[in-house]
A and B are shown apart, each in its own frame.
Chain A
Amino acid sequence: MVEELNEQAQREKYVRGFGAMVLSRTLDKKIITAQRQGRVGFYTPSMGQEATQVGASMALSKQDIIYEYYRDVALMIHRGVPIDVLVDQVLGNSSDLSKGRQMPSHFMAKKYNFMSIQSPVATNLPLAVGAAYAVKYRKTDQIVLATFGDGSSSTPDFHAAMNLAAVFNLPIVFLCENNGWAISLPVEKQTKTEIWKKADAYGMRGVKVDGNDFIETFKVMGEAVQNARSGNGPTLVEAVSYRMGPHSTSDDTTKYRTDEVQEGSEKDPIIIAGNMLKEMGFLNDSVINRIREESVRIVDQKFEEREKIPPPEPESMFRDVLAEMTWILEEQMGDIL
């Protein structure tokens, strides 16, 4: 069960969570603007999924391992990944942990137990199962969180991972961030069943939660994490939200949908979270405004600062293919550079 918090601890936890949501949203908007200005190549915003991600993150312990996907910025920020790391990756500068090899949105942060993101969806899930096997084998008291979108539920990798995790009774939580859309395909056309219900067929717990309610998500995730940590095996959590942004900066949502959720509307999870916290007496409008302003200041400042960092040397594209550079690569590097 979720630990009981006294009011002071609860206030701090929730307000910090709200701050991460706002910071994530602010960063998303900044990057989208920068992309429009030609300063960033591409981006997949997390807008609309902040409450899901912060609720999930609040349920984890520091040592837990996360196999995230490319729309998890609020999750990463709440786990303590510095804004620099995210901005460096998006810019592909020489401080980027992946040395400018990956397109934007493909973050990594091993220090914070975030694994590296790939484009082919759901292929992180079998890896997460393997990590969970390692954790169980080594009895390290960690659990693994694997995140993915609703589209991923159709893939063979999803099926394989769910089945394997259940068969080996592994300490893992699968979090489906159902934002309603896989690029242009609505979830109703993705699958005939609700995603959480698939858990039953694999022999694991399945839970659906309102992913726009970060406190409810925190509670549901807390139980799933507790089950994983205490040896009771995996859970599939389906957190329902809405993809407020385009799939990516290359996408035009007017081609396929008309039910846009506007930022600042009553369906915006950050507005929902703010109202909840105001009702609990944890926040008021002036504090919320301060949090927003501070986020803009931090993001603007970081962006300015990190944009000054030069790109990686071209030579770096030839490194880290294998542990040692092969003669073939040395030759090809010589030909090209």
Chain B
Amino acid sequence: MSSKAMNMVQALNSTLDFRMSQDDSILLLGEDIGKDGGVFRVTDGLQAKYGEERVIDTPLVELGIIGMAIGMASYGLKPVAEIQFQDFIYTAMDQIINQMAKLRYRTAGEITAPVVVRTPYGGGIRGGLYHSQSGESYFVHTAGLVVLTPSNPYDAKGLLSSAIDSPDPVIFLEPKKLYRAGRFEVPEEDFKVPVGKAAKVHEGDDVTIITYGSMVPTVMKTVTNNNINADVLDLRTLVPMDIVAISESVMKTGRVVIVHEAPRTLGLGAEISALISERMIEYLYAPILRVTGPDTPFPYKHEEYYLPNEKRVMAAVQKVLDYR
């Protein structure tokens, strides 16, 4: 396969472009995604290529975007909706929780809503309270949704392709801080990163660090700079979670640190920690530690204190390594 250096924005764009060229049931809808190409330019050039009917500049109404996408999906189309910032999705939560996530269940599989909802999440761009949130727990907590988040251009391209083929509604969380965080060689052709499979992005025996999305580069930097002998798991799929990868690694290392940007209380780290404790506590040598955002709204001026960084990740790793 020929490859090309792409950042995450270009990788996502290339998947949308290729898949739309193959299948006229795929439609995009969202705010400013057409002429403007999206505020982060993920859909740049697609309206010019596929027309206003397929790349729809919608009025400013998140619940309408999601609601429409559900109706489209029930009638054979494959809508890929963009919510401009994950922080803006909440007016659509009724549509997501009570319609999108429950349609298959309440119709015993006869009517489904295989919508892809793409939305940038997370901090690191000085976005303050309303352009920085990590709300993955809301979606993970709702039965009936698949939740994906890539951490690099390769996974972004392959996971989005899998999301488009998913028979289930997918919340596709794009770590906006990583949109342009460097170019990586990515195959030009369409390929898929499977749903439900974590990636082991670093191999080691002493500690398992479980992370995903925007925090993967932070963890990798910590591991590399400090020569930590760690297994690093990039979950990629938050629902359904890859318990096999987690179990194998934890049973090997017996020490676990979970890193995410979302606030700690009832963040995904709590669930992962519970899953590990319930099924393999006899393998653990140390308490499971979490490195997360604090339980505050996401601040504007002090985002560097909010976001987990090398120092905080290293401190937690050191603590579980030293635990006797």
Contact = CB atoms under 8 A, between A and B. Distances in A.
Interface of A: 65, 67, 97-99, 101-102, 106, 108, 110, 115-116, 118-120, 123, 125-135, 137-138, 156-157, 160-161, 163-164, 167, 316, 319-323, 326-328
Contacts of A131: 71-72, 74-75
B105 A127 contact: no
A101 B67 contact: no
A106 B79 CA distance: 26
Contacts of A126: 63-64, 66-68, 70-71, 95
A195 to B, nearest CB: 19
Contacts of A106: 106
A118 B97 CA distance: 11
B76 A138 contact: yes
A164 B64 contact: yes
Given A126-B66, A156-B91, A164 B58 contact: yes
B108 interface: yes
Contacts of B168: 322-323
Given A134-B76, A164-B58, A110 B146 contact: no
Contacts of A129: 64, 67-68, 71
B89 interface: no
A164 B107 contact: no
Contacts of B75: 65, 130-131, 134-135, 138
B67 A115 contact: no
Given A110-B111, A118-B99, A160-B64, A323 B71 contact: no
A116 B68 contact: no
Q: What are the 9 closest A-B residue pairs judged by CB atoms, nearest first?
A: A126-B67, A130-B71, A160-B64, A130-B68, A134-B75, A127-B71, A323-B167, A131-B71, A326-B240
B160 interface: no
B143 A321 contact: yes
B189 interface: no
A26 B109 CA distance: 31
B114 to A, nearest CB: 9
A90 B192 CA distance: 43
A161 to B, nearest CB: 7
Contacts of B241: 328
B104 A130 contact: no
A157 B96 CA distance: 13
Contacts of A167: 59
Contact of A134 (B61, B64, B72, B146): B72
A108 B64 contact: no
A97 B67 contact: no
Given A130-B72, A164-B59, A327-B243, A321 B107 contact: no
A157 B63 contact: yes
B307 interface: no
